[in-house]
Structure 1
């Protein structure tokens, strides 16, 4: 089933308007986009909605302070570890079919987490939520990129999707605190169960099915090594913030993860039908685009985390006033999402990507001017403007990676994009959080993290610009 402004592997491709401002979505196309974006927003919300509720949740279920990290890690492990595998399975056996399966799993897992009666049942629900997210995210993104033709229509669709992805993470932090204070922590999980049910009701009649025309054998050795490697890597980095990198379990798991990912590269070079096409990874746009995505997600999530500590612990702002700061940031992200496709249409995705990274890094540097007795206004302005640049980077890096990729490999390409997103959201805080704990005071630690964050983003902007060959080719 195809709609008049979309393309799928089973429907005809329509001509894309030459100007992004001429890209108009039909009523049905808007509904399809709403369903796909709602699913992505729901998963983004899940990343942050529980953070504020963790202390209350721990007391209610009997989770110790040291065990609270598992409320986050139990979700992050499967959501990041299985993305590539499910993205490829969707290519082969049907993206819509797997997308709906993921929604059922996510909704049931959210209900289990809502009704949890002990730590084991809650963590089981969180792990199954993560597994459902690992199905929903790559299948939803590949349905989007195969539904809307490459050009202004896809630019607009990805712009809306990227805005909601960023907004979901921010709103989750604010909404989680409000709901926990008024309705209890279980309401945060119940909200996700309701959201999954709504999307599941709408999706079957709206979404087209798409898959690759051929069904080669699934690369099992590749699936085992990449999934195991990602699981080990995410586990190591997620626990490093609590135990430190000197912990035997942390560095041992890190070594195992790197070894498995190295084995994955060897396996893929010899596989007849590889899970990840090495020639695709060698494409300049795929490699450098994903590096940019990893940096922008990991570093922006770190800024949000340390600013939360700064506003509440150093400036002693209330949870409500802290929420207002990130509410302004969310509005800025919406504004950026509406304008980013126009900039991309005028300057090209590559230039917007590099420019957005430069802006994010420079505004991160501006945050170093905050003080111990004031700085809320500066923090609000700088993080909001940085989020606008971050949103531009999110949208443009997705376009850089997926543009020019044939429909039969869109699940793989979007699987790489979404794996980068999930891993980026997971690794930034553990990596730079170690810097915060080694300083004399929390404020000194926050400044150290902000300085390292800005330096990494600016260095990445320069490297990505050179890697994408902007001096030789416009785009």
Structure 2
């Protein structure tokens, strides 16, 4: 693709005053880390993988949970939505508090809470408590995810060393999410409770390893004044916004509750913006969006995750409801995408150095969009190899290229004291994007539903088709945003 900014390598992104020319030799020196650095990386990577596993495993287990606890579809939705609610609403706050209060402290406390909530969720029979544990796990993940990200960016030097660490970190998260479908199928075959309990011993071990291998850090020197009202309005505004998004399909997009929810959330977030522009030490410096590729990376993340999670939502229903596949059979059908993402970790940083993060984002989003479009061909009796597998492979390639590149691009050139903020921004974009596009997808599928009593496979497929079209449209829109020329502003 012949874009003005697509030929820049990552070195030129992190050092914008110097553009790499075609006559310069590529970097070939290997990255050498100490044993302590490798163990530090494995600690934070494992936690991100647990977050990804938790999201996808529970989706496979929902039918079993509903059958055992006698829950309807509306209640089952909240087992998923409660996690998104906690995760998406506090990511920005979690990342910033890690900067202000100490990354190691926040990371270990949040991981301990995650382990306790996982244990409780696997033991209870009360649906309300089960949903509450999912919300608490989402809150905990809202602190561990951006904190783990900023632990990496502050302990690995910017450039090739950080590129490699971030590519491994983000690939662990994506792999956990992708392979969670298979793990969830295996755990559900034993009992749905194991989809909750399997994370507990792993999290406990990682807490002890983290105490040993995560370096102690001091709160940011900028923490000379606590922005209490900024923290309160941000948390309440994001909580209200994500709650409204995930409940809108059930309440109705034009209902009083939905309109009021959006209005109140926007008003609270507007108050947060006013506060941040007036206080001496703001929780979030809005001008960070003008630096480097922060704004573009965040918009790309919205499109990437929004389209991908919505597609997964549709395809799991299609494979089970239309084709009648078992959860494990469905998971195995999607396994190639997860394997492609998982095996890309050793190479992602080299690809970023060679081609530049922007070029890989463009290529990845192109592959995603093509994969979604190809899937529109499926019918009620598809040939897996010819009709489904090409899309699965393209999605694996697209996600493997775009996901780590977006995360590298989002934090390039940002100073250490704001790495948690930058990490929180990009991960908030992924969660809010997922919640928004998934909510619209659910509304489209429901609004396009068939008349009562129509249960043919073809009718169900037509019901899901608008959601497939939306996933493709969102990916293409993200591609256009990533391809648009822009000027960078870099902190000096």
Unaligned runs of 5+ in 1: 1-16, 471-475
Q: Are 2:150 and 2:420, in contact at CA under 8 Å, matched by a contact in 1?
A: yes
Q: Is the 8 A contact 1:335 1:388 kept in 2?
A: no
- TM (norm. structure 1) is 0.90
Structure 1 residues 48-96: Cα deviation after superposition (integer angstroms, max 9, x where no partner) = 2111222322343344432222212222212111111121111112100
In 1, distance between residues paired with 2:407 and 2:463? 33
Within 5 A, what are the aligned runs for 1:221-240?
A: 221-240=229-248
Moved more, 425-434 or 154-163: 425-434
1:333 matched to 2:333? The reply is no
- Alpha-carbon offset, residue 370 of structure 1: 1.7
2:65 to 44, 57, 62: 57
Matches of residues 1-16 of structure 1 in structure 2 within 5 Å? none
- Match status 1:443 vs 2:489: no
Task: Indicate yes or no: 2:138 matched with 1:130.
Answer: yes
CA contact (8 A) 2:224 2:281 kept: yes
Q: Tell me the CA shift for residue 404 of structure 1.
A: 0.4
Counterpart pick for 1:207 among 210, 214, 219 = 214
Deviation at 1:469, TM superposition (A): 5.2
CA 1:325/1:30 → structure 2, altered by over 3 Å: closer, same or farther? same
Q: Secondary structure at the match of 1:281?
A: helix
Match of 2:119 in 1: 111
Q: After TM superposition, list the pairs within 5 Å mapping 1:394-433 onto structure 2.
A: 394-433=403-442
Contact 1:329 / 1:380 at 8 angstroms: preserved in 2?
no
* 1:292 and 2:300 matched: yes
For 1:198 and 1:380, the matched residues in 2 are separated by: 37
Alpha carbons of structure 1 residues 282 and 260: separation in structure 2 relative to 1, 3 Å: farther
Q: Which residue of 1 aligns with 2:474?
A: 456
Contact 1:229–1:261, Cα closer than 8 Å, also in 2: yes
Moved more, 242-251 or 166-175: 242-251
Is the contact made by 2:307 and 2:470 (CA closer than 8 Å) also made in structure 1?
no
Residue of structure 2 equivalent to 1:382: 391
> Which of 166, 175, 193 is the matching residue for 2:183?
175
**Contiguous gaps of at least 5 residues in structure 2:** 1-24, 451-458
Question: Are residues 1:187 and 2:194 paired?
Answer: yes
Query: Equivalent of 2:272, from 248, 258, 264?
Result: 264
CA contact (8 A) 2:178 2:335 kept: yes
My pick for the range that moved more, 411-420 or 239-248, is 239-248
State the partner residue of 1:4.
none
Q: Distance in 1 between matches of 2:243 and 2:443?
A: 16
In the TM superposition, what is the alpha-carbon distance from 1:162 to its structure 2 partner?
A: 1.6
For the structure 1 residues 448 and 123, does the alpha-carbon distance in structure 2 shift closer, same or farther, using more than 3 Å as the test?
closer
From the superposition, tell whether residues 392 and 106 of structure 1 become closer, same or farther in structure 2 (CA, over 3 Å).
Answer: same
Aligned residues of 2:60 and 2:327 also touching (Cα < 8 A):
no
For residues 67 and 194 of structure 1, the distance between their equivalents in structure 2, rounded to whole angstroms, comes to: 28
TM-score (norm 2): 0.87
Q: Distance in 1 between matches of 2:255 and 2:28?
A: 51
The alpha-carbon distance between structure 1 residues 304 and 348, as it changes in their structure 2 partners (threshold 3 A), is same
Counterpart residue number, 2:31: 23
For the aligned residues, what is the CA RMSD? 2.2
- For structure 1, which segment, 331-340 or 107-116, has the greater mean C-alpha deviation from structure 2 after superposition? 331-340
**Pairwise CA distance, 1:18:** 7.1
Matched, 1:314 2:314: no
Aligned partner of 1:362 among 367, 370, 384 = 370
Aligned-partner SS, 2:413: coil
